[in-house]
C-alpha cells in the first residue's frame, strides 16, 4: 500500500497517468532488485563511558561536509533543466478516497509505528487525526513559517545589519503580534581581572562572540610553526595548545614530551594522542590556545577557537 500510494502521488505531481490497480503496481515493484541492506557497525558510548575509557568522540559533520561540494555540483548541472510547468501541486483532501492521500498517510505512519513497536491504527483513525492537524498547520505553523521565511528573504538579499532583522513574539489566541529588533550577541571583552585565569586578560585580535573563530589557513604546519605564527601575527606567546581533552602542548608541564613534538605536524600529534587517526575526509582541526600577551606583562590572551586548515 505504501509503494502503490507513494508512486501514484509522485505520478500525479509529474503529470503521469496514475495506476490505481494495487496488484499491477505490486507486480512492477517485485521486478525491482534492491541492494541488500547492510547496517552500519557503530559503537555508541555515553559521555560517562567516553570519560572512563579516555576515548575521543568521532568528529561530527565530516561525511556531510565532504558531500556538500558534490551536491552543489549536481544542482548546478540540473539548473535550468527543470521547469515549473513540469510539476503540479496537489491540495490535501482527506474526504476524497480516490486521491490516495489518506491511504499514503496511513501506510507511512503505520510502517514507522511498526519500526518503533507502536500500535498501528486503522484508516478511519488516521483520517480523523489528519482532520484535526490541518487547522493547526493552517494557523500557528503557517504564521511561524511566514515570519522565519521573511527573515531568510532579507538575508539572501544582502540585508545583514542587526537593525534589518526582527524577532517575532506572536500569540494567535489573544491575538498579539510584536516585532522587535534583536539584541547583539554577547561579546567576550578584555578585562582587568578574569575570574578563571585570576589575572588581567586581553581579547586577541579584538572582542569576539562565541560564534567567531580564528582561521589559520597556511597548509600543514608543525607545532613550532603554529607558535611562531601566533607570535608574529598576534604578538602573543602560546604556552597551551589543546583539542577537546587532548593536550598538544603545555609549557607548564615539562614531562609531557611537548619539546619532542615541536617539529611534528599538528595532525600528526592528533594521531598520536587519539584512539583513532583522523578520517581521510577531515580537512581541519579546531584548536584552543592559551598564553600571554607580549606587549602587556602578566596579561593572558583570550582568543576564539582556532580553525586550523591543513588541507583543501
Single pTM value for the model:
0.58
pLDDT in tens, 28-79: 889 999 899 888 887 777 877 776 766 655 555 666 777 888 899 998 888 8
Would you state the pLDDT for residue 124? 94
Residues in Cβ contact with 140 at an 8 Å cutoff, skipping those fewer than 6 apart: 172
What is the rounded average pLDDT of the residues 243-250? 90
Determine which of 52-61, 97-106, 245-254 has the lowest per-residue pLDDT on average: 52-61
Would you state the pLDDT for residue 182? 93
Would you state the pLDDT for residue 56? 58
Would you state the pLDDT for residue 195? 83
What is the rounded average pLDDT of the residues 248-276? 82
Would you state the pLDDT for residue 255? 52
Q: Which residue has the higher pLDDT, 6 or 137?
A: 6
Would you state the pLDDT for residue 80? 79
pLDDT in tens, 172-215: 888 899 999 999 999 999 999 888 778 899 999 999 999 999 99
Would you state the pLDDT for residue 245? 86
Superfamily name and number for 191-309: Ubiquitin-activating enzyme E1, UFD domain (3.10.290.60)
What is the rounded average pLDDT of the residues 8-33? 91
pLDDT in tens, 79-96: 878 788 889 988 889 899
Determine which of 126-140, 265-279, 281-295 has the lowest per-residue pLDDT on average: 126-140
Amino acid at each position: 500500500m505504501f509503494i502503490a500510494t507513494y508512486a501514484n502521488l509522485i505520478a500525479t505531481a509529474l503529470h503521469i497517468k496514475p495506476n490505481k490497480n494495487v496488484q499491477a503496481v505490486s507486480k512492477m515493484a517485485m521486478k525491482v532488485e534492491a541492494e541488500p541492506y547492510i547496517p552500519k557497525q557503530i559503537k555508541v558510548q555515553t559521555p560517562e563511558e567516553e570519560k572512563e575509557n579516555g576515548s575521543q568522540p568521532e568528529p561530527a559533520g565530516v561525511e556531510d561536509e565532504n558531500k556538500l561540494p558534490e551536491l552543489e555540483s549536481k544542482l548546478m548541472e540540473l539548473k535550468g533543466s527543470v521547469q515549473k510547468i513540469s510539476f503540479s501541486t496537489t491540495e490535501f483532501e482527506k474526504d476524497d478516497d480516490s486521491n490516495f492521500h489518506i491511504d499514503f498517510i496511513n501506510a507511512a505512519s503505520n510502517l514507522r509505528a511498526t519500526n518503533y513497536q507502536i500500535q498501528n491504527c486503522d484508516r478511519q483513525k488516521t483520517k480523523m487525526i489528519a482532520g484535526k492537524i490541518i487547522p493547526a498547520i493552517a494557523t500557528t505553523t503557517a504564521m511561524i513559517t511566514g515570519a522565519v521565511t521573511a527573515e531568510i528573504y532579507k538575508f539572501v538579499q544582502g540585508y545583514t545589519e542587526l537593525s534589518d532583522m526582527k524577532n517575532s513574539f506572536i500569540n494567535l489566541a489573544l491575538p498579539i503580534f510584536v516585532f522587535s529588533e534583536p539584541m547583539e550577541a554577547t561579546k567576550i571583552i578584555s578585562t582587568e581581572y578574569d575570574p578563571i585565569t585570576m589575572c588581567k586578560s586581553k581579547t586577541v585580535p579584538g572582542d569576539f562572540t562565541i560564534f567567531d573563530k580564528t582561521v589559520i589557513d597556511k597548509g600543514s604546519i608543525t607545532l613550532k610553526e603554529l607558535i611562531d605564527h601566533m607570535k608574529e601575527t598576534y604578538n602573543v606567546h602560546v604556552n597551551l595548545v589543546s583539542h577537546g581533552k587532548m593536550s598538544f602542548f603545555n609549557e607548564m608541564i615539562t614531562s609531557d614530551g611537548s619539546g619532542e613534538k615541536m617539529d611534528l605536524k599538528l595532525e600528526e600529534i592528533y594521531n598520536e594522542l587519539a584512539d583513532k587517526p583522523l578520517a581521510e575526509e577531515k580537512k581541519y582541526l579546531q584548536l584552543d590556545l592559551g598564553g600571554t600577551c607580549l606587549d602587556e606583562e602578566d596579561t593572558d590572551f583570550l582568543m576564539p577557537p582556532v580553525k586550523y586548515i591543513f588541507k583543501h
